[in-house]
Chain A
Amino acid sequence: MRKLIDKLVFTICSLSTVLVLAILALIIIYILANGVLAINLDFFTKLPKPVGETGGGMVNGIIGSAIMVAIAALISIPISIGAAIYLSEFGKGYLAVIVRFLVDVLAGVPSIVIGIFIYTIVVLPMKRFSAIAGALALAIIMIPTIVRATEEALKLVPQTLREAALALGAPYWRVVLEIVVVSAHKAIISGVLLSIARVAGETAPLLFTALGNRFLVTVLDRPMASLPVQIYSYAVSPYDDWHSQAWAATFVLVMFILIINLAVRFFIYSKE
């Protein structure tokens, strides 16, 4: 009887693993199948067609996403790495405890709330939706991921390395920047890449910051299209052609994100 229960429990555990992997396979297969059917060169090179006409592409969304994610990365990387250096190298007092806690809290704040926040401090004063607002929202979402990854990585650098460099007469700031950060660069880059993969798929914070745009714009104080927002508006539309374009866009987005994720994992595991 006890052996029977034992067998039963572990069979259930295996089955639940199979179930989870099957769901993953199901999702990926649907995105692959529908995406490959819908994708073509136009998707990458053409603007969306007006309602009612078929064809067209999402070049505005692809470029818009690239611009906003790049700006978000430029803003958040120095802030996050600097704050992480403080937490790891200097942070022993109350400030560090509070900031560490707030970083964890920030990681748990729903992305739509970040969108609202940026709306109140950027969009309301500017009186219009803009790409820079979208990029700022994405930057705030990236910060906690990068801070955590960097702090963990810096803490793993052996203390003896710092001492050796200090003993050679280097000032502490150079020890930190040129020895500690450089030794931990792999894990830091991984954290940055993962956070880029995450915000590339964020939709909610862009809905009322960058809004969306049917045209290709490159100025930052105008509404800008992004791939995730376009997927959303096409998916809930009643047109079949838009649905298949939404699948194509999802295919591109998911492939981008999965490739980054797998590359990062390979990158970490290849260390030893």
Chain B
Amino acid sequence: MEKKPLADTVVTDFSSILPPRKKSWLMSPSADSAFRYLTAGLAVFLLALVTALVVSMVYNSQLSLSRFGLSFVFSTTWDPVKEIFGALPFVYGTLVSSLIALIFAIPISLGVAIFLTEQCPYKLRPIVLTLVELLAAIPSVAYGLWGIFVLVPFMRNYINPFLEGTLGFLPLFKGPSYGIGLLTSGIILAVMIVPIITAIAVNSLTAVVPTQREAALALGATRWEAMQVVLLNARSGIIGGVILGLGRALGETMAVTMVIGNRPEIAVSLLAPAYTMASVIANEFTEATYDLYLHALIEIAILLFVITFIVQAMAQLLIRQISKGKTSYAKAN
């Protein structure tokens, strides 16, 4: 494959591709179709891989699937000692922490995207965008470490007492503050998904034809009013980006495991420790001492896979819709 470094687009030396004197099999049409089947085989391999993923996980969770059935998802008891397994506390923790992340991340990402497309000086734009995207490159275990030693003490000493003092009458913000918990993990997740939502929002906003905006401006609209027209046009792409961010937040493991407190209970307070689907797998998988326990954890993995599969499929449909004319929609992942 690595034969001769040709110039980027201009080919100057044709000796390597000119037909050799003798007819060889490599020149024949059957070589071409062999090549075609080879690459098609690799594509089919990817298909087989995803199928194997589903089949193997279902096969290895059958003990738990047959014993608990659908009640697995709705039962709140997770007690490995008594061999009772219910996933609801984890489903709750995953959904609520991701929801908190979206509440923080959506306005901030939109703000950054609007700043980048509307206000930012042209030369600064790639620099700011690169910096924002670097946030997505930082590994989640590094976020977790930062969370444990910087964010958790900060939440414990400043934010949580403040929330209790001002909004403490709401059950959402009651209770002893450990610093760890749903709110803290939501904030870390928000930081992690901002670059994803921002990147796709910027792409969707720049994909809107400029005449829309210019027409609004010509009618005497302020820049913000014109921006609303653009936002409206870019909505399906932006929603796609938000859903993609949601998918990432739902499946995020390490950073959340390190700051959520890992307690399998459903508490009303956002300041209380909780547990997510991904973090219970990460924490307990190597400690699962008997088969049913292991199968229950794999069933949680299936649940997580199904949820992220649906979310991902929705995001792809929405993003495809807007960027049909455009190439390359997301480099964020």
Q: Per DSSP, are chain A's interface residues mostly helix, strand or loop, or mixed?
A: helix
* Chain A residue nearest in CB terms to B129: A265
CB distance from A44 to the nearest CB of B (A): 19
CB distance from B12 to the nearest CB of A (A): 13
- A131 on interface, CB distance cutoff 8 Å: no
Cα distance A219–B51 in the bound complex, in angstroms: 30
CB distance from A186 to the nearest CB of B (A): 8
Report yes or no: B119 in contact with A112, Cβ–Cβ below 8 A.
no
| Given known A-B contacts A110-B252, A172-B32, A13 and B112 have beta carbons under 8 A apart | yes
- Stretch from B68-76, B83-91, B218-226 forming part of the interface with A: B218-226
Report yes or no: B251 in contact with A250, Cβ–Cβ below 8 A.
no
Residues 159-185 of A contacting B (Cβ, < 8 Å): 161, 164-165, 168-179, 181-183
* Chain A residue nearest in CB terms to B16: A178
Q: Which residues of B contact A147 (CB under 8 A)?
A: 46
Cα distance A243–B149 in the bound complex, in angstroms: 9
Report yes or no: B224 in contact with A170, Cβ–Cβ below 8 A.
no
Cα distance A91–B38 in the bound complex, in angstroms: 13
Report yes or no: B142 in contact with A143, Cβ–Cβ below 8 A.
no
Taken residue by residue from 33 to 60, chain A's Cβ proximity to chain B (1 for < 8 Å, 0 otherwise) reads as 0100000000000000000000000000
Report yes or no: B132 in contact with A10, Cβ–Cβ below 8 A.
no
- A2 on interface, CB distance cutoff 8 Å: yes
Residue among B27, B31, B247, B333 having the largest count of chain A Cβ atoms under 10 Å? B333
Taken residue by residue from 16 to 33, chain A's Cβ proximity to chain B (1 for < 8 Å, 0 otherwise) reads as 110111011011001100
The one of B5, B17, B142 that contacts A231, using a Cβ cutoff of 8 Å: B142
Cα distance A106–B114 in the bound complex, in angstroms: 30
Report yes or no: B43 in contact with A99, Cβ–Cβ below 8 A.
yes
Cα distance A85–B13 in the bound complex, in angstroms: 24
CB distance from B1 to the nearest CB of A (A): 6
Cα distance A175–B223 in the bound complex, in angstroms: 50
Report yes or no: B57 in contact with A27, Cβ–Cβ below 8 A.
no
Residues 309-333 of B contacting A (Cβ, < 8 Å): 309, 311-313, 315-316, 327-328, 333
Cα distance A257–B278 in the bound complex, in angstroms: 24
- Stretch from B171-179, B267-275, B279-287 forming part of the interface with A: B279-287
Size range of the interface on A?
Answer: 35 or more
| Given known A-B contacts A14-B119, A86-B39, A269-B126, A112 and B47 have beta carbons under 8 A apart | no
Q: Which residues of A contact B304 (CB under 8 A)?
A: 110, 112-113
Residues 16-49 of B contacting A (Cβ, < 8 Å): 16-19, 26-29, 31-32, 34-36, 38-40, 42-47, 49
CB distance from A79 to the nearest CB of B (A): 5
Q: Which residues of A contact B130 (CB under 8 A)?
A: 262, 265
Report yes or no: A116 in contact with B301, Cβ–Cβ below 8 A.
yes
Report yes or no: A20 in contact with B108, Cβ–Cβ below 8 A.
yes
Q: Which residues of B contact A21 (CB under 8 A)?
A: 128, 131-132
The one of A14, A98, A228, A271 that contacts B139, using a Cβ cutoff of 8 Å: A228
Cα distance A147–B44 in the bound complex, in angstroms: 13
The one of B9, B17, B135, B305 that contacts A20, using a Cβ cutoff of 8 Å: B135
Q: Which residues of B contact A207 (CB under 8 A)?
A: 282, 285-286
Cα distance A34–B142 in the bound complex, in angstroms: 12
Taken residue by residue from 47 to 60, chain B's Cβ proximity to chain A (1 for < 8 Å, 0 otherwise) reads as 10110110011011
The one of A15, A31, A178, A197 that contacts B17, using a Cβ cutoff of 8 Å: A178
Q: Which residues of A contact B239 (CB under 8 A)?
A: none
Q: Which residues of A contact B52 (CB under 8 A)?
A: 117, 121
| Given known A-B contacts A23-B135, A105-B312, A168-B18, A95 and B43 have beta carbons under 8 A apart | yes
Q: Which residues of B contact A213 (CB under 8 A)?
A: none
Residues 88-115 of A contacting B (Cβ, < 8 Å): 89-91, 95-96, 98-99, 101-114
Report yes or no: B40 in contact with A201, Cβ–Cβ below 8 A.
no
Report yes or no: B60 in contact with A120, Cβ–Cβ below 8 A.
yes
Cα distance A269–B127 in the bound complex, in angstroms: 11
| Given known A-B contacts A23-B135, A143-B46, A112 and B112 have beta carbons under 8 A apart | no
Chain A: residues with CB nearer than 8 A to chain B?
A: 2-3, 5-6, 9-10, 12-17, 19-21, 23-24, 26-27, 30-31, 34, 79, 82-83, 85-87, 89-91, 95-96, 98-99, 101-114, 116-117, 119-121, 124, 140, 143-145, 147, 152, 155-156, 158, 161, 164-165, 168-179, 181-183, 186, 197-198, 200-204, 207-208, 211, 228, 231-232, 235-236, 243, 246-247, 250, 253-254, 257-258, 261-262, 265, 269, 271
Chain B: residues with CB nearer than 8 A to chain A?
A: 1, 3-6, 8-9, 11, 14, 16-19, 26-29, 31-32, 34-36, 38-40, 42-47, 49-50, 52-53, 56-57, 59-60, 107-108, 111-112, 114-116, 118-120, 126, 128, 130-135, 137-146, 148-150, 191, 194, 198, 222-225, 227, 244, 247-248, 250-254, 258, 278, 281-282, 285-286, 297-298, 301, 304-305, 308-309, 311-313, 315-316, 327-328, 333
30 contacts between A and B (CB under 8 A): A5-B222, A6-B222, A16-B108, A20-B132, A21-B132, A27-B135, A27-B138, A86-B39, A99-B47, A110-B252, A110-B304, A110-B308, A111-B253, A112-B251, A116-B57, A120-B56, A121-B56, A152-B327, A165-B11, A172-B35, A173-B32, A173-B35, A177-B1, A178-B6, A179-B17, A183-B8, A183-B9, A204-B278, A250-B145, A261-B133
With A16-B112, A169-B19 known, 16 other A-B pairs at CB within 8 A are A3-B222, A5-B222, A10-B119, A83-B46, A102-B50, A109-B305, A110-B278, A113-B305, A121-B56, A174-B26, A197-B137, A201-B141, A203-B253, A203-B254, A250-B145, A258-B138
